Amino acid sequence: MSKKDKDVTNLIDPNDFSICKSTVSMIEKARKDGVLLNFDRAAGMKACPIGADSACCKHCFMGPCRMNPKTPYDRVGVCGASVDTIMARNFSRAVAAGSAAHTDHGMAMLELFGDVVKGRNTDYSIKDPDKLVDVAESIGIEVKDRDLGEIALDLYYELERTYTQVDGEIPFMKRVPEKTLELWRKLDIVPRGAMREVMEMMHRSTMGVDQHYANITKQASRTALSDGWGGSMVSTEISDILFGTPSPVQVGVNLGVIKENMVNIIIHGHEPNLFESMIVSVNDPSLVDAAKKGGAGGINLVGMCCSGAEMMSRHGIPHAGNFSSTEAALVTGAVDAMGVDIQCIKQGLSDVAACYDTPLITTNTRCQLEGAEHIQFDEHEPLKCTEEIVIKAIGRFKNRKHRIEIPKEVNQGVHGFSYEYIKYMLGGTFRGGFAPLNDNIINGRIRGVAGVVGCTNPRVKQDYAHVELVKELIKNDVLVLQTGCSQIALAKAGLTTPEAAHLAGHGLREVCETVGMPPVLGLGSCVDNSRILVAASEMVRVGGLGDSLADLPVAGCAPEFMSEKAIAIGQYFVASGVFTVFGVTFPIIKETKFYKHLFEELEELGMGKWGHSKDPFEMARMMIAHIDKKRQQLGIDKARDRVLMDMETRRALNE
Ligand code: BF8
Ligand code: SF4
């Protein structure tokens, strides 16, 4: 850390960086150890104000061109590009990058599935044949009286179209409610294939091509839909088929899951295949034996970020924390190896790992870090890489030389609410389905449904907006569905337990207590946002809540986002018909045509729209107002009033 950084960062109380006590204590320890973390780096580097408003363009070398965010229309770029064109191109490129990340991840999963069904890979197998049949059936593949292998092969080739198809509609368009799909056809935004959409988005946003902000946004919607209903959905469905569909499991979350007397291995990233073989390796008797011979009680495998969230939901693997805490975990001094694959791997991990002599191992050809060791993970020999990571971790354990300080916090909660399980949970084995959810929305016990998702960002107090927003929503009878780092924030705050129902409004509390579920349902990683799309489509199909996704009393939010992937997710929710609020900052200048387009006009076209606020209470107010507007349009606002009166009466009677 440079002297200047020390001067800047020592002024800031770590409690201002995070509400996560364990992370705060690691920031304090890091400072004592002379180690710089992401929080201090953010404090030491003010965000560029022109970039923050997306008012600069560097798409060609006549520029870079900078607009003045205060007087956005008094200047144009050298090529004549207006501020609306510049902002729309920057925004759409974020959508393209985020969509590319999710779809490339999904494609890797599909590739593995292809190898398994073609018999080229015997290290993995189909763990959930029921899900295989359901997914195949949902996109029109004949399943009756057919061999599972044949269905799987058909499914592989059909889903491959999600990526490679150049014309036509991607397969999961068959799951979209008819009226929503009709709108997309009318607007010409039905995705053809993810590769084509991302390619066209990059083409159209290059210098001298698409220079109308509304037309650029149209392709941004199409690209984002190829992610949500394409790449991400393939990733979720194929991962379930290969590794098992999650169902509720009790798991410990927070830095306290790291154990002093164990060989601790953290896996952090996004693709479940690395983590799956890691589970095999840490259970290998000879490796466990080697760990014990080295003086350890055993091997402790822990997840972080999204692949951690996926493994927590699927297998009950403990989770150490979200994005902002990945460096902090290393500061414990007790992490004996960290294996990473792709996405959200901060380069800063490399320096922090070096300070504590923790082997940081990259495993995916797409993601290497200066200062980290690369051990390529090969699906055809998966254990070769993961066993090597375990051996390195045991070696580090035996030679531990840094002071160890592990925060005590571990928060037990229930996770793993897949779409399939929610369906079963609400209706039971015989009448599983979404009808009880719709009924409870119509009668007003549940006011609406919110998806609260996404990252943490060291530019805002870690977890604060997630936790306050969700508390406010459930207090107002809004059922909350969660994924990614947001889910981890709420787990740490203790809201993913059935007991948290007492924090909910009377109606939601009653439903939660009847079913025995938390008011906050964790669905998994960021690609698992596709589970929310499938659930919303089912709500439309079941009936009583309108004909299109835009009719539903639902809203979405990423209160502490930081990634381009979040922008892609936001845009596919908006294009699907959902009002979506983002916190932190929004890369746009207010009172411009492009702003009006995203924040108003998309809704007038029949889609959802964007919202922005830094304040979680304001976010909640905006989302609840939207849910109430939808209830009114559906004519079910009266039902809610009546139920509330009934509840009051009942309470009065009980007193
Ligand atoms: O895909 S929530 S910080 S870990 S981007 Fe990253 Fe954001 Fe976390 Fe996963 Ni999603
Ligand atoms: Fe400037 Fe236009 Fe080039 Fe952008 S594309 S850098 S606005 S000249």
pLDDT digits (tens, 9 = 90+) for 56-90: 999 999 989 999 999 999 999 999 999 999 999 99
pLDDT of 639 higher than 80 = no
Residue 89, ligand 2, Cβ within 6 A: no
Q: Give the residue among 367, 394, 372 at the shortest CA–CA distance from 281.
A: 394
Looking at the chain, the whole-number percentage of residues with pLDDT higher than 90 is 92
The rounded Å distance from CA 61 to ligand 2 centre is 7
Q: Ligand 1 pocket, 452 CB below 6 A?
A: no
Q: pLDDT confidence of 642, banded at 50, 70, 90? A: very low
Contact 623, 579 (CB under 8 A): yes
Q: Which residue lies with its CA nearest to atom 1 of ligand 1?
A: 526
Distance, CA of 92 to CA of 100 (rounded, Å): 12
Q: HSE of 100 in the Cβ direction (CA atoms, 13 Å)?
A: 16
Pocket test for ligand 2, best of 58, 59, 211 (most atoms within 8 A of CB): 59
Tokens read off for 502 = 């007492």
Find, among 176, 21, 6, 57, the residue nearest to 489 by Cα.
Answer: 21
Distance between CA atoms of 63 and 162, rounded to whole angstroms? 36
Q: For residue 157, what are its two tokens?
A: 């080739």
- Calculate the alpha carbon distances from 328 to 21, 44, 202 in Å: 12, 17, 36
Q: For atom 4 of ligand 2, which residue has the closest CA?
A: 57
From the CB of 625, is ligand 2 less than 6 Å away?
no
- Residue 109 near residue 239, CB atoms below 8 Å: yes
Question: Helices then strands (H, E): number in the chain?
Answer: 28, 16
> What ligand 1 atom has the least distance to the C-alpha of 322?
8
Q: What is the per-residue pLDDT across 415-444, written as a single tens digit (0 to 9) for each?
A: 999 888 888 888 765 566 888 899 999 999
Mean pLDDT of all residues belonging to the chain: 94
Mean of pLDDT values over 368-397: 96
What pLDDT, on a 0 to 100 scale, did the predictor assign at position 428? 62
The letter for the amino acid at 238 is: I
pLDDT confidence tier of residue 9, bands split at 50, 70 and 90 = low
Residue 246 has pLDDT above 90, yes or no: yes
Residue 366 predicted with pLDDT over 80: yes
Q: Does 643 score more than 60 pLDDT?
A: no
Q: Strand pairing of 411-415 and 249-253? A: antiparallel
Mutate to test the pocket of ligand 1, among 304, 344, 531 (most ligand atoms within 8 A of CB): 344
User: Cα–Cα distance between 221 and 570 in angstroms, integer?
Assistant: 10
- pLDDT score at 441: 95
Query: In the prediction, which pLDDT does 574 show?
Result: 98
At 648, the pLDDT band (50, 70, 90 cuts) reads low
Residue 498 CB burial class (10 angstroms; 0-12, 13-18, ≥19): middle
Please tell me if the CB atom of residue 511 comes closer than 6 angstroms to any atom of ligand 1.
Answer: no
Does ligand 1 come within 6 angstroms of the Cβ of 86? no
- By DSSP bridging, strand 478-482 and strand 520-522 are parallel
Provide CB contacts within 8 A for 176, sequence distance 6+.
184, 229, 537, 549
Start-to-end CA distance of the chain, whole Å, equals 62
| Strand pairing category for 65-66 and 249-253 | unpaired
**Token pair 């002379």 in the structure block, residue:** 34
pLDDT of residue 654: 45
Judge if the beta carbon of residue 76 lies within 6 A of ligand 2. Answer: no
- In ligand 2, the atom with minimum distance to the C-alpha of 78 is 8
Among 45-59, 378-392, 488-502, 629-643, whose mean pLDDT is lowest?
629-643
Please answer whether residues 482 and 490 qualify as being in contact, where contact means their C-beta atoms are separated by less than 8 angstroms.
yes
pLDDT for the residue 641 = 58
Cα gap 653→644, rounded to integer Å: 14
Ligand nearest, relative to CA of residue 344: 1
276 band by pLDDT with thresholds 50, 70 and 90: very high
Which atom of ligand 1 lies closest to the CA of 563?
A: 5
Q: Check pLDDT > 60 for residue 5.
A: no
pLDDT at res. 425: 86
Element (H, E) at 450: strand 448-452
Distance in angstroms (rounded) separating the CA atoms of residues 381 and 390: 15
Backbone angles phi, psi at 58, to 5 degrees: -135, 40
Residue nearest atom 3 of ligand 2, based on CA coordinates: 60
Q: How confident is the model at residue 637 (pLDDT cuts 50, 70, 90)?
A: confident
Per residue in 564-589, pLDDT (tens digit) is 999 999 999 999 999 999 999 999 99
Whether residue 225 has its Cβ less than 6 Å from ligand 1 = no
643 or 541, which is more confident: 541
**pLDDT at res. 324:** 97
CB 406 within 8 A of CB 260: yes
Distance 39 CA to ligand 2 centre (A): 33
How far is Cα 102 from Cα 198, in angstroms, rounded to an integer? 12
- For the segment 141-187, what is each residue's pLDDT rounded down to a tens digit? 999 999 999 999 999 999 999 999 999 999 999 999 999 999 999 99
Q: DSSP character for 632?
A: H
pLDDT at 325 over 70: yes
Instruction: Name 208's Cβ contacts closer than 8 Å, sequence gap at least 6.
Output: 60, 79
Structure confidence at residue 650 (pLDDT): 46
Are the C-beta atoms of 92 and 216 separated by less than 8 Å? yes
Residue 383 backbone dihedrals phi, psi, to 5 degrees = -75, -20
pLDDT at residue 646 greater than cutoff 60: no
pLDDT at 430: 57
Mean pLDDT of 323-331: 98
The set of residues, in sequence order, having a beta carbon less than 8 Å from that of 366 and lying 6+ positions away, is 104, 342
Q: Tell me, using a 6 A CB cutoff, whether residue 248 lines ligand 1.
A: no
Q: Which residues contact 319 (CB under 8 A, 6 or more apart)?
A: 251, 252, 253, 254, 257, 302, 303, 304, 308, 309, 311, 312, 488, 491
Closest Cα partner for 515 from 385, 423, 384, 639?
A: 423
pLDDT in tens, 518-555: 999 999 999 999 999 999 999 999 999 999 999 999 99
Q: Is 367 in the pocket of ligand 2 (CB under 6 A)?
A: no
The span from the CA of 444 to the CA of 631, in Å, is 9
Q: Which atom of ligand 2 is nearest to the CA of 57?
A: 4
Question: What gap in Å lies between CA 223 and CA 509, rounded to an integer?
Answer: 39
**Pocket test residue of 65, 75, 83, 211 for ligand 2, highest count of atoms within 8 A of CB:** 65
* pTM listed for this prediction: 0.94
Residue 653: pLDDT band by 50, 70, 90 thresholds? very low
pLDDT tens digit sequence for 120-142: 999 999 999 999 999 999 999 99
Between CA 180 and CA 369 the distance in angstroms is 43
Q: Where are the beta strands (DSSP E) in 4-160?
A: 56-57, 65-66
User: Residue 15 — φ and ψ, nearest 5°?
Assistant: -65, -15
